[in-house]
Structure 1
């Protein structure tokens, strides 16, 4: 096999004086090259072998059906032939080392077959058998021996359906599938074999170039499959259906490579509803979890997230033709006010702007449509020109020629036989002519998924027009493509995220509020003026010195949520109130904090750190105070974060309206808030090996020019090493 793209130069030869460390490093690189080459041979083979019975023969049948041009070697001790091809009795009879082998025999014989194939230099294997790590201790031992046997070969499985490559015409797949040969298209990768089958059977016109099911991912998982797919220039976009992406650093590396190449990745991840499985002392940990961490990771890496299988397919269809849009300014056309209204409502709900037509475009549209049609965006061009191909072409061209980022024509096409389809062929020809004449990214969208016949899907795709099915998913696809265009550029400019390093060994200890705020004050955060006291008398004296109103709080490392325990008294205006408050709190804590009451708050923010075991430390920003868990208005940032990251995060929050000045109220000190968030981010980075969790809740935002103040804080960390 030739050396693969991406590993173009042969490894350097070493002299006898090369250092052991250097030799080891180059040996490791060569090993990685061989593993990558093995997986590439598996996914894009020129020769294949199959081992087993019914499932193996099904692979042969499917390879012949979709036109695999390479060598096929069936191997069976009990079958004389498979699909008319004579069987070999054993692996020893192979005339060459196959690029890819489908193995459908029991687990123990599978290991021996893998060992033989690896020794002869085969490329990779699909393992159909179960009975490995998914079955417990015995299976784990079996899987360990399997990996030792595999060496540098590529591997899908075990417990895996395999792969279908419609570019090469090869189906290492023991079941039916719905694709067909093509020259370029999207790849679909699924942890579920059954979902992979369903996706292959889609009737949405998605040009599927490669289908892969991952099974147990004992050796090659999502990151390795992504990297191999990215080495194939015929792949236009990649869709993932996964429970987990596994190796996070590997996934990050693959996603960054996809961004560099401009190949969008769309992921549908299951398991987002699982509650956090650990007891947390902070609001942050209860407000975030694996779902929030993965969302933040995707945002950082320019990986598009889908919510349904239908969305996954519609997004991929758009990305196949347009790997990102320059912006999100939308124009829609329909011959029905009802369709226009539906699309306008969806656009408003998801934040797609629909600017008015320019004066020149209005003039051109008036010339075609006359004074009976109001020229607006969305454009309801009525049915006066329906069936008149020249007039429809002129109308669509005038609209698409205006300064929008994308145009959508609503078109539902009847598919029942016997109907008079007057005007539909003219509409098809008109939108194709208009899109090609203007060069505007163009979508034809049906209101319902079933109202786009396959012939029309293929016609539009061939003409460079995206056929999307269902208004809701169509407009969300536009938003996703516009987001990807921006996010891709950001991801190329940013460095890698903080690694998921382990926290220093030893018990984590909680700082009480007084000490936590001292730590944060040293980091540059503003905290209220206050005094730590041990008695009622000291508390009253401190309050008199500070000036009223004041706050009294119980201070103890055992009080993470003081309000619920009755350990907070606000807005105390005289000595008696302070004395009474301390008396009520007696027994809750050995000390009390007396602080100047923060007033004139514009809004309250929560800042916090939580740690994902795979992704690492994350900064959470959200609506604070009593709203922290009530409304769940929060977003997560991976670190390190830039000021631009922080600004975008703030804009995503509902509380951003309060920060900007809501209904005549004063605006908050946004820049001071941003500076405080950046200081907290820096603190987390400096202490990433110590911090277990942290909350600042609330961080009170004062009016413009008056700053912010951290009025409560929780820090739990280990001792410095």
Structure 2
């Protein structure tokens, strides 16, 4: 759905009382030079403009309308605006689906028809490039030609974003409210059509259409526009069955993580991170990689940068000998050249000397450089020496062509005058070392991602809440075996002792027809004789049949491999520590399917349990390729059976000879 007329209006109708009048005031304050037409049957004038009594009396069709009347009146007005061909509506009123009035919200959507409807239960939008502010409250935006756009479900969060004083240039703010019709994907696609938007930030509580969101993210990737998301709350997107370990571990957040990673969206955890990362991306832009240089005049700051860098996907490589010698020639003999570099205060206030030092340092093979400096911020302070340092960094960046940022350790020690000066010179002014590192990590993330194409989306149609049933472990293993997955030799029988003797000891004995059998005493392992098997059957819960299987010797590690279907999104692969460690370790990685062997391998190597496969404490070193192959085959079983809801192997026992599915669960839906 194209929101161009709504976001870039030349004419705005405001319908209502106090809130509508505030919209007029905000448009005037931001310098909107289009037409504004107030509608109110009880007033002759609003905001210095003559009113009309009804939408039907408007002389022309508005590009956008802000409707701030009671909810039931909203429906009738929206219907009239749609009939007249309005370009889009902001629905300010609350009292719809957010309070359980789903039918009323549906009536509103029907009334809007093909006309874009923002909300209901939302604050609206601000376009700082044109001054159009369909916004009934205060905000902190100024007119901008370039910058970041922010889209938020929460109106109050959107307002808070506008009040930032961190130097982030914001071009647009949209509040989506209930997303009854317009969703994140619609807003993203429309903003991507505007060349003034250099990055897009999202505050997401839930996504109504994951496949459409993914397609919008692909479009952003193709246009090299970074998407940064702050995800909060819980969405039905991640809901699923709760009987399998996969469902318990791969909750909503895992689905979102996999979705964002698959489609090149960078996720942050806090509001400051969202704002600071967007700032770096709009001012500095993506960088080639994550090899960084840090400069500071204090060993404390250098140590802090080094310590905090461990939490981010960035590197501070040592300078090669020739480069270190060149930098050293600019420094006092007491200064040890390293990275992070503590250049000391011998050159403090000497702009020329600092420029030489910084230029030499930035001449190395780094993807970006950061200067750590905190400005004094009291009226009686003399900050001239600090300005000399900043200007030296600007000159060094311009001479070497190295991407550079300047960061304070505290938000309040990056004054607005410094921030604006740095932005004008192309250096992002960052507030906080962690936020700076997150921004550089994001810049490297996009620099690498933009160089490679994204995979197409593979949504799956919904099952319409059809009934689900778990296959028996035996049946699940036969399906896995047909797919090439190794399973233990075994048989379902009511004469377990005889079968065990035929299979060969030691054996495992399991009751048939129960999930999580080990929790109920339904599993006995390492039975060495017929007598052991007979004794085990007597100690187990009553069962009409038993699964007798050969034990798998030489296990080096146990893994969980689960594949779970999410309607409208696709299949989520979860790899983690298996067996008894599944709940204890919480050591998992997640991927959307289909995926490829290199991605599976990277996910496997990211796990703590992967150390067990790499010769940990005398264990055999495992060829990860056959583990990856086994995981891939489990994924293929899920993808090739359209009725399956869950395919889970726990544990997948890894030995030097292969990876064996020792326990398996398959849940299928039935029409």
TM-score range, shorter chain: over 0.9
**Distance in 2 between residues matched to 1:696 and 1:589, nearest whole Å:** 23
SS of the residue 1:699 aligns to:
strand
Greater Cα shift, 189-198 or 615-624: 615-624
Where does residue 178 of structure 1 map in the other structure?
140
**Distance in 1 between residues matched to 2:310 and 2:107, nearest whole Å:** 57
SS of the residue 1:368 aligns to:
coil
Post-superposition offset of 1:217? 1.8
Where does residue 71 of structure 2 map in the other structure?
107
Q: Is 1:713 equivalent to 2:664 in the alignment?
A: yes
**Distance in 1 between residues matched to 2:111 and 2:634, nearest whole Å:** 49
Kept in 1, the 8 Å contact 2:205–2:235? The answer is: no
Kept in 2, the 8 Å contact 1:536–1:583? The answer is: no
Q: Is 1:498 equivalent to 2:451 in the alignment?
A: no
Where does residue 577 of structure 2 map in the other structure?
623
Q: Is 1:443 equivalent to 2:405 in the alignment?
A: yes
Where does residue 35 of structure 2 map in the other structure?
71
Q: Is 1:251 equivalent to 2:213 in the alignment?
A: yes
Post-superposition offset of 1:278? 6.5
Kept in 1, the 8 Å contact 2:500–2:549? The answer is: no
Cα shift readout 1:169-200 (whole Å, capped 9, x = no counterpart)? 11110100001001011011111111111110
Cα shift readout 1:312-349 (whole Å, capped 9, x = no counterpart)? 11111111134432111121110000000011011123
Greater Cα shift, 359-368 or 231-240: 359-368
Where does residue 655 of structure 2 map in the other structure?
702
Given the two structures, how large is their TM-score scaled by the length of structure 1?
A: 0.89
**Distance in 1 between residues matched to 2:412 and 2:323, nearest whole Å:** 33
Say if 1:227 and 1:380 are closer, same or farther in 2 by CA, change over 3 A.
same
Post-superposition offset of 1:130? 2.1
**Distance in 1 between residues matched to 2:517 and 2:117, nearest whole Å:** 54
**Distance in 1 between residues matched to 2:37 and 2:238, nearest whole Å:** 49
**Distance in 2 between residues matched to 1:398 and 1:55, nearest whole Å:** 57
Given the two structures, how large is their TM-score scaled by the length of structure 2?
A: 0.96
Where does residue 541 of structure 1 map in the other structure?
501
Kept in 2, the 8 Å contact 1:284–1:610? The answer is: yes
**Distance in 1 between residues matched to 2:612 and 2:29, nearest whole Å:** 63
Kept in 1, the 8 Å contact 2:638–2:646? The answer is: no
Q: Is 1:95 equivalent to 2:44 in the alignment?
A: no
Say if 1:486 and 1:415 are closer, same or farther in 2 by CA, change over 3 A.
same
Where does residue 26 of structure 1 map in the other structure?
none
Kept in 1, the 8 Å contact 2:459–2:568? The answer is: no
Say if 1:534 and 1:610 are closer, same or farther in 2 by CA, change over 3 A.
same
Where does residue 8 of structure 2 map in the other structure?
44
Kept in 2, the 8 Å contact 1:552–1:592? The answer is: no
SS of the residue 1:369 aligns to:
coil
**Distance in 2 between residues matched to 1:652 and 1:232, nearest whole Å:** 38
Where does residue 482 of structure 1 map in the other structure?
444
Where does residue 556 of structure 1 map in the other structure?
512
Kept in 2, the 8 Å contact 1:513–1:555? The answer is: no
**Distance in 1 between residues matched to 2:520 and 2:659, nearest whole Å:** 26
Say if 1:155 and 1:617 are closer, same or farther in 2 by CA, change over 3 A.
same
Where does residue 182 of structure 2 map in the other structure?
220
**Distance in 1 between residues matched to 2:545 and 2:458, nearest whole Å:** 40
Kept in 2, the 8 Å contact 1:514–1:555? The answer is: no
The answer for unaligned runs of 5 or more in structure 1 is: 1-34
Q: Is 1:521 equivalent to 2:481 in the alignment?
A: yes
Post-superposition offset of 1:274? 10
Cα shift readout 1:536-578 (whole Å, capped 9, x = no counterpart)? 5414523xx52x4x23222312x21122222222233344333
Where does residue 520 of structure 2 map in the other structure?
565
Post-superposition offset of 1:594? 3.1
Kept in 1, the 8 Å contact 2:362–2:369? The answer is: yes
Post-superposition offset of 1:387? 0.4
